[in-house]
């Protein structure tokens, strides 16, 4: 063998050694990633670390309501760690505060009203900012409470309220939680169903959810629409009655969402997916059993979250309703967080519906491009990827059809005509 041949052999051996070293480093690195993140790398969630979350700590705002549970439990039960992030729930005092902190970046994301996200995106209810709905957090589980004084006068439901308002002429005051939000839209829709125009026949005020009961106690309003546990709290305290549940208005209606800004998603797509997957796992956990629901109620009742007694939360979360006037019932359409994934999918038609109601009540002067806006706000692309990570089934259609309390059918096919179809409007 010549000297040249020996040199070529040494070079070849060196290349082999380098290849082995490179492969060894790759294997060690992959093993470290898999160990650090619960073995997810081996299941293809991240490709050699390329899908690693851009932010490892995520600050997620919430309002003290039962339906903040999936965000809280994702953190408490450690589902967030499984996806390489830490969710830090941040208790906020009002929806306006949540809006402002999302827009200015103090919060990464939030448990937030569906209609608030669309309001900000369309420049109503605050400064205009491109927003994103990552997923739906819950269906059902809100209610309309009327004061005990009204109930004693015969206003125990929509018909009774309309009759009393005709007989006893005065200024009637009702409260919702944010002008473009879900509770405002449920309240307006319910009143209008019984011929009461919320813009002309009543005074409507905005009150943060945890302050509803205290304001009704001192006589500041005749009724309110809010999420639980504050409707049940009004019954326990003897100051209000449940006139309607929001599932009476629209069975399996969209309610809170995991929302953020489009800018944040663009900068942190991997973090967004990880956060969504963690919350999806928490949603599935909550709905999996009665014992899980009870554990959830015990957790979120704490002062750091909802700050109320466990019994005020767990009755309605299990579907056990009372109206404060002696009637009790088991409601199959109680608040749901998962329902085999049907709850969480960000249907385009859900987002479009809120815009039809914003148009109906004069919050928007002109009809927007309903479908185009919904496609830009509801991040179905990201949701499908997060759902695959968490092994959550995804519905085939991006639209869904629902029949509401007044008999109208909403399917998202002709939003402009739907928005113009209501007799009672602004």
Whole-number pLDDT of residue 15? 38
Residues 412-420, mean pLDDT to the nearest whole number = 98
Query: pLDDT tens across 62-72, in order?
Result: 999 999 999 99
Whole-number pLDDT of residue 17? 41
Same-domain check for residues 303 and 373: yes
Strand 320-322 relative to strand 203-206: parallel, antiparallel, unpaired?
Answer: unpaired
Whole-number pLDDT of residue 178? 98
Using the predicted structure, report yes or no on whether residue 116 has a pLDDT greater than 70: yes
Number of domains the chain is built from: 3
Whole-number pLDDT of residue 22? 42
- Token digits for 230? 């504050």
Query: Within a domain: residue 135?
Result: yes
Same-domain check for residues 164 and 135: no
The most confident of the ranges 4-13, 118-127, 230-239 is 230-239
Same-domain check for residues 234 and 309: no
Query: pLDDT tens across 172-220, in order?
Result: 999 999 999 999 999 999 999 999 999 999 999 999 999 999 999 999 9
Q: Tell me the helices (H) and strands (E) count for the chain, helix number first.
A: 19, 14
Residue 95 contacts residue 52 (beta carbons within 8 Å): no
Using the predicted structure, report yes or no on whether residue 296 has a pLDDT greater than 70: yes
Same-domain check for residues 24 and 164: no
- Token digits for 341? 């994934």
Whole-number pLDDT of residue 21? 42
Same-domain check for residues 83 and 131: yes
* Mean pLDDT lowest among 20-24, 159-163, 273-277: 20-24
CATH number at residue 295: 3.40.190.10
Task: Write down the pTM of the prediction.
Answer: 0.89
Query: Within a domain: residue 409?
Result: no
Same-domain check for residues 219 and 339: no
Using the predicted structure, report yes or no on whether residue 31 has a pLDDT greater than 90: no
Q: How confident is the model at residue 125 (pLDDT cuts 50, 70, 90)?
A: confident
Residues 387-416, mean pLDDT to the nearest whole number = 98
Whole-number pLDDT of residue 358? 98
Same-domain check for residues 277 and 349: yes
Of the three residues 249, 275, 300, the one that is the final residue of a domain is: 249
Whole-number pLDDT of residue 48? 39
Of the three residues 197, 223, 249, the one that is the final residue of a domain is: 249
Same-domain check for residues 259 and 123: yes
- In the chain, % of residues over pLDDT 70: 88
Using the predicted structure, report yes or no on whether residue 49 has a pLDDT greater than 70: no
Query: Within a domain: residue 424?
Result: no
Could you tell me which of 24, 47, 52 has the C-alpha nearest to residue 36?
Answer: 52
Using the predicted structure, report yes or no on whether residue 12 has a pLDDT greater than 80: no
* Helix, coil or strand: residue 299: helix
Using the predicted structure, report yes or no on whether residue 26 has a pLDDT greater than 60: no
Query: Within a domain: residue 404?
Result: no
Using the predicted structure, report yes or no on whether residue 35 has a pLDDT greater than 60: no
Distance CA 114, CA 119 (A): 9
Same-domain check for residues 286 and 361: yes
Whole-number pLDDT of residue 331? 97
Whole-number pLDDT of residue 316? 97
Domain that holds residue 159: 142-249
Query: pLDDT tens across 136-158, in order?
Result: 999 999 999 999 999 999 999 99
- pLDDT averaged over every residue in the chain: 91
Phi, psi angle pair for 34, to nearest 5°: -60, -40
Same-domain check for residues 200 and 303: no
Residues 6+ apart with CB under 8 A from 92: 61, 62, 63, 98, 101, 107, 110
Strand 256-261 relative to strand 109-113: parallel, antiparallel, unpaired?
Answer: antiparallel
Query: pLDDT tens across 83-99, in order?
Result: 999 999 999 999 999 99
Same-domain check for residues 327 and 353: yes
Whole-number pLDDT of residue 50? 77
Same-domain check for residues 64 and 183: no
């Amino acid at each position: 063998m010549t000297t040249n041949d020996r040199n070529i052999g040494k070079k070849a051996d060196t290349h082999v050694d380098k290849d082995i070293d490179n492969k060894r480093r790759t294997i060690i690195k992959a093993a470290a990633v898999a160990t650090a993140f619960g073995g997810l790398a081996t299941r293809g969630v991240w490709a050699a670390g390329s899908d690693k979350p851009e932010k490892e700590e995520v600050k997620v705002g919430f309002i003290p309501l039962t339906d903040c549970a999936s965000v809280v439990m994702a953190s408490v039960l450690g589902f967030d760690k499984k996806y390489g992030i830490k969710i830090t729930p941040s208790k906020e005092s009002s929806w306006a505060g949540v809006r402002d902190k999302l827009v200015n970046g103090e919060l990464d994301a939030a448990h937030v009203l569906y209609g608030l996200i669309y309001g900000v995106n369309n420049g109503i209810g605050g400064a205009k900012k491109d927003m994103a709905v990552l997923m739906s957090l819950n269906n059902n589980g809100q209610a309309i409470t009327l004061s005990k004084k009204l109930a004693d006068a015969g206003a125990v439901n929509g018909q009774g309220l309309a009759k009393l308002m005709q007989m006893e002429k005065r200024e009637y005051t009702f409260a919702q939680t944010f002008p473009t939000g879900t509770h405002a839209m449920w309240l307006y829709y319910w009143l209008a169903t019984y011929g009461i125009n919320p813009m002309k026949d009543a005074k409507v005020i905005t009150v943060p959810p945890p302050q509803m009961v205290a304001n009704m106690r001192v006589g500041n309003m005749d009724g309110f629409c809010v999420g639980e546990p504050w409707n049940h709290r009004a019954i326990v305290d003897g100051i209000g009655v449940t006139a309607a549940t929001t599932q009476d208005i629209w069975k399996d209606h969209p309610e809170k969402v995991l929302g953020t800004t489009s800018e944040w998603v663009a900068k942190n797509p991997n973090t967004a997916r990880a956060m969504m997957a963690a919350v999806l796992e928490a949603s599935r956990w909550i709905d999996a059993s009665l014992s899980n629901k009870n554990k959830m109620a015990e957790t979120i009742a704490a002062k750091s979250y909802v700050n109320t007694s466990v019994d005020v939360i767990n009755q309605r979360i299990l579907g056990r309703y009372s109206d404060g006037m002696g009637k009790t019932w088991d409601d199959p359409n109680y608040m749901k967080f998962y329902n085999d994934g049907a709850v969480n999918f960000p249907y385009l038609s859900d987002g479009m519906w809120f815009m039809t109601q914003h148009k109906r009540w004069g919050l928007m002067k002109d009809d927007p491009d309903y479908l185009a806006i919904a496609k830009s706000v509801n991040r179905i692309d990201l949701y499908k990827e997060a759902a695959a990570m968490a092994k959550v089934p995804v519905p085939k259609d991006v639209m869904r059809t629902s029949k509401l309390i007044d008999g109208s059918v909403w399917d998202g096919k002709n939003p402009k005509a739907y928005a113009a179809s209501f007799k009672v409007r602004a």
